Structure 1
Amino acid sequence: MGATGADTDEAAGERRQLLNMAYRLLGSLAEAEDAVQEAYARWYALPGARRAEIVNPGAWLTTVTGRVCLDVLGSARARRERYVGAWLPDPLPGREGSGPPGGTDPADQIVLDESVTMAFLVILESMTPAERVAFVLHDVFRYPFARIAEVLGRTPGACKQLAASARRRVDAARPPEPTAGLAAAVRHVKEAWEAKNVTALVGLLDPAAMLTADGGGLAGAALRPVEGGAHIARYMVAIADRAPGLELLECPVNGTPGLVARRAGVVLTVASFEISGGRVSRIWVVRNPEKLGPWAREERP
């Protein structure tokens, strides 16, 4: 009985690690919570004697959570084909490494590092489900390919090839420069946007910039990406004209500088940015209210 209790406690202590893994795999906090919950449901459904036989409950839960996420990723493509407009990962508030280990809010459990920036999560979306699982588990969480093989049902060698293929995607899509100037760029965009200064915005945006918005059919958003710095600048000013009383705040989004727009204290939009050559090259805008739950719970200044 004592050993079983100890194993149960050890299993319960894995929840934060599993949630972090599942969020990176799925890009959705709600789906990540569901995947982890399903893994625990399967764990506690095991007979006590069977649980006692499992030497490493954390490894067992990791394997099961990974398999659940793999199934979700396989079905997500069909669901996202029916999604209204572009689908973007859930944006999370907070700074790098934030989130108290003992916090109860799932968003507080996510460690915000470079593997959860919006830019990185969007790259992950371009991978096949197997590539994404192999890459995230190995390159982000440092799991050996022998363990990843148990998740994917493939040989360790095949998993290594999948991770290498995913790594090439990341290297090809990753911006060539550090984001040290991102905070200043975001601040200048905020100021120009508030002033409705199209000329200033055009100067801050890369001529080949792209803005992708996710409204999910529940909030107004461009259904297709807006391309070109001049087009994006005019689009942003048009939004400002149609939204009097909108307040813009500089806030970290998934650990990097971003902007939040709110009206009467309610967060309506969360924007993430990427720069290239000193100018903003990508903007990801999430307006789907179903993805802004963590922001509603935040005490913003």
Structure 2
Amino acid sequence: MTSALAPFDRHRRLLFSVAYQMLGSVSDAEDVVQDAWLRWSAADRSEVADERAYLVQTATRLALDRMTSARSRRESYVGPWLPEPLLTGAGLVASGSAPVDPTEAAEVGEQVSLALLVVLETLSPTERAVFVLREVFGMSMAEVAGTLGRTEVAVRQMAHRAREHVRARRPRFDTDRQSQREVTERFFAACASGDLAALLAVLAPDVVLVSDGGGKAKAALRPILGAEKVARFVAATATQGFSLPGLRVEVAEVNGAPGIVAWAGEEPLLAMSLVVADGVVEQVLIVRNPDKLSGLSAAANDF
């Protein structure tokens, strides 16, 4: 068992990252990693020429198997569906994961923004797998083809379609991390003070807010459009939320960018991700469904 665990642990974070970006779910990604371990521990490893390729192929195919049932569940989901948020600061990439250095943490950096994961939901499962393996992890066409059991020609065509699809729908965002954080902190301060004018000043005129409560937490059942409506919704929500006993709200790194997280004691309440472009907030994505906050709870004590 020990001899099997060491090589698997070397690639555990990579496997989680691949599965998370394909599924948009922390819990499902962790299940994929566990299933991959079971297959790895039962495999004849003497016949495995490339451990990394074998494990990535296993995790990718396990994730693909889960995507059909996951999409079926979303058809009956209450209100808008958003991916599960993930704290990527404090050296964490998943609940239960060991600390990683900054270069390894890049695997779950800007490429796993909630806004991008929402766009990836509009790809077919195989196109999403191709995009993740090729565009995010930089695998060659031959490697992607081998992982998916497809020809290089077919993979190249899917990669082109997926890339164009994502490019057309991916929101604009400021690449300057300092600018992102400054805008996020201004947004947070306006929420905390209930200053409607300050909120309006930091929101783009055509800002969109999407909140995911899954029928289990208070959230808007439809996207909210426009700066004034978004500001009023956020201000009202903040006024109610800040009155909760033991509430702790902070700016933290959520899915590779500055965001806002809240806990009541040790229980996670929400994660908020902002898409910042040209110094203002273009999108506000709020996850409140308690079933989707496992990516926050394990890291709560690190802030």
Q: Where on the TM-score scale, by shorter chain, does this alignment land: which range?
A: 0.7 to 0.9
Count how many residue pairs are aligned between Structure 1 and Structure 2.
292
Partner of 2:210: 212
State the SS of the aligned residue for 2:82. Answer: coil
Partner of 1:86: 80
| Alignment TM-score, normalising by the size of structure 1 | 0.87
How large is the Cα RMSD of the aligned pairs? 2.5
- Distance in 1 (CA, whole Å) between partners of 2:174 and 2:194 is 28
Name which one, 1 or 2, has greater alpha-carbon Rg.
1
Superposed CA deviations along residues 113-163 of structure 1, whole A, max 9, x for unmatched, are 111122222222221111110011111112222232233332111111111
Partner of 1:250: 251
1:72 aligns with 2:66: yes
Q: 1:204 to 1:62 in 2, by over 3 A?
A: same
Q: 1:150 to 1:74 in 2, by over 3 A?
A: farther
Superposed CA deviations along residues 47-82 of structure 1, whole A, max 9, x for unmatched, are xxx431222232222112111111212222111111
| Alignment TM-score, normalising by the size of structure 2 | 0.87
1:112 aligns with 2:117: no
Amino acid at match of 2:34: Q
Is 1:29–1:107's contact at 8 Å kept on the other side of the alignment? no
Amino acid at match of 2:37: Y
- Distance in 1 (CA, whole Å) between partners of 2:53 and 2:126 is 19
**Structure 2: where are the runs of 5+ without partners?**
none
Residues 281-290 or 256-265, more deviating: 256-265
- Distance in 1 (CA, whole Å) between partners of 2:173 and 2:69 is 35
State the SS of the aligned residue for 1:224. Answer: coil
**Structure 1: where are the runs of 5+ without partners?**
none
Offset at residue 249 of structure 1 (A):
1.6
Offset at residue 177 of structure 1 (A):
4.8
- Distance in 2 (CA, whole Å) between partners of 1:38 and 1:85 is 31
Partner of 1:225: 223
- Distance in 2 (CA, whole Å) between partners of 1:10 and 1:114 is 27
Structure 1 counterpart of 2:130, from 120, 130, 134: 134
Amino acid at match of 1:88: L
State the SS of the aligned residue for 2:258. Answer: strand
Structure 2 counterpart of 1:21, from 6, 18, 21: 18
- Distance in 1 (CA, whole Å) between partners of 2:285 and 2:9 is 35
State the identity %: 37
Superposed CA deviations along residues 162-214 of structure 1, whole A, max 9, x for unmatched, are 11111112222334452422211111111211222222212221121111111
Structure 2 counterpart of 1:194, from 170, 189, 192: 192
Is 1:190–1:248's contact at 8 Å kept on the other side of the alignment? no
Offset at residue 267 of structure 1 (A):
2.9
- Distance in 2 (CA, whole Å) between partners of 1:211 and 1:130 is 29
Offset at residue 269 of structure 1 (A):
1.3
Amino acid at match of 1:39: A
Residues 252-261 or 7-16, more deviating: 7-16
Amino acid at match of 1:135: F
- Distance in 2 (CA, whole Å) between partners of 1:104 and 1:258 is 18
- Distance in 2 (CA, whole Å) between partners of 1:117 and 1:145 is 24
State the SS of the aligned residue for 2:108. Answer: coil
Residues 213-222 or 256-265, more deviating: 256-265
- Distance in 2 (CA, whole Å) between partners of 1:75 and 1:258 is 30
Amino acid at match of 2:164: R
State the SS of the aligned residue for 2:249. Answer: strand
- Distance in 1 (CA, whole Å) between partners of 2:57 and 2:201 is 49
- Distance in 2 (CA, whole Å) between partners of 1:60 and 1:28 is 22
Is 1:252–1:258's contact at 8 Å kept on the other side of the alignment? yes
1:125 aligns with 2:126: no
State the SS of the aligned residue for 1:79. Answer: helix
1:10 aligns with 2:7: yes
- Distance in 2 (CA, whole Å) between partners of 1:136 and 1:127 is 11
State the SS of the aligned residue for 1:299. Answer: helix
- Distance in 2 (CA, whole Å) between partners of 1:51 and 1:265 is 42
State the SS of the aligned residue for 1:269. Answer: strand
- Distance in 1 (CA, whole Å) between partners of 2:194 and 2:231 is 9
Is 1:267–1:295's contact at 8 Å kept on the other side of the alignment? yes
